[in-house]
Amino acid sequence: MAVIRRRRSFGRVFRGLIFLVVSAAVLGFFVYVPFFTLKEIRLDGAKYLTEEDILRIGNIYMGEPLFKLETDVVQSRLSKDLRIEEVSVRRKLPRTLEIKIKERRPLATITCDYGYLDLDHNGMILDSYKTIKTMQIPMITGAAVRDLYIGDTVDDEIVKKILDFLQRLNEDTLNQLSEVAIVEADYIVMYTATERAVQIRIGKLERLDEKAHLTEDFLRDLATNPHPVEYVDFNYTSPFIKLAE
């Protein structure tokens, strides 16, 4: 009986070894066979980041074995970049890596003690520079911050409310604004980036959705308006438009 048990035990061990060898061979085939190598990055959701940026940040190399590439590690690397708010990474056989990202969108620029800062909707600083660059986003004036750097968050309540308002605007509208001025603590005025700047009086930062829609509609119609406009005031139930003399 002892001999039979030893034979059975040996048989189980032998079958286990065979299974491990076969599994390792199959795994090695899928990892190293040239057919399953990275040939394409399918990038979704990126506007500011390029494929080259993603390869560099994620430490990804074209031509490397697809199954050797650890998607959770790549995702962790990408998520540490301040410009990326959300990211998911997955393989798509036989040779593609799909990367979906949600970028942090720069909404406004503000002055600081050493230059200028770009802010996202949460007030996080995405970029800093000493000399003003060609802007496609508005400048917040009437406020300044000190001792803040990339990765820090602005905690000024008025600035945060302005950013909350700006994130409700579509990108085309945002790009048509040159300045958001804090005239008083409870009174905000914006200016268009047109050759003849038009004043948009937002007033108190309340009814934000309504005022965002009014701003979008006004700027969309402004391009075809045959009459020059001096300012529009959204403080009233019905917007008031003052034509230029």
Would you write out the chain's pLDDT as a tens digit for each of its 245 residues? 554 555 555 456 555 556 455 554 444 445 455 557 889 999 999 888 889 999 999 999 999 988 888 999 999 999 999 889 999 999 998 899 999 999 998 999 999 999 999 999 999 999 888 888 776 899 999 998 999 999 999 999 999 999 999 999 998 999 999 999 999 877 999 999 988 899 999 999 999 999 999 999 999 998 888 788 999 999 888 888 888 87
Separation of alpha carbons 239 and 241, rounded Å: 6
- The percent helix, strand, coil of the chain (3-state, each to 5) is 35, 30, 35
User: In the numeric block, which tokens belong to residue 226?
Assistant: 């045959």
Side-chain-facing half-sphere of 224: CA atoms under 13 Å: 3
Alpha-carbon torsion 139, 142, 143, 149, what sign? positive
β-pair partners for 103: 84
Residue 23 phi/psi, 5° resolution?
Answer: -60, -45
Q: Which amino acid is at 99?
A: I
Residue 170 φ/ψ region, left for φ over 0, alpha for ψ in the -120 to 50 degree band, beta for the rest: beta
Q: Kindly calculate the radius of gyration of the chain based on its CA atoms and give it in whole angstroms.
A: 28
Return the pLDDT at 13. 53
- With both helix axes pointing from N to C terminus, report the angle between 208-222 and 157-166 in degrees, rounded to the nearest 10: 50
With vertex at residue 23, the alpha carbon angle to CA 21 and CA 28, rounded to the nearest 5 degrees, is: 95
CB–CB of 125/148 below 8 Å? yes
All domains of the chain in start order, with CATH: 34-103 (3.10.20.310), 108-243 (3.40.50.10960)
Report pTM: 0.75
Q: ω into residue 94 within 30 of 0, thus cis? A: yes
Estimate to the nearest angstrom the gap between the alpha carbon of 116 and the chain centroid. Answer: 19
Q: Assign 22 to helix, strand or coil.
A: helix
Q: Assign 231 to helix, strand or coil.
A: strand
Alpha-carbon torsion 241, 242, 244, 245, what sign? positive
Separation of alpha carbons 200 and 180, rounded Å: 9
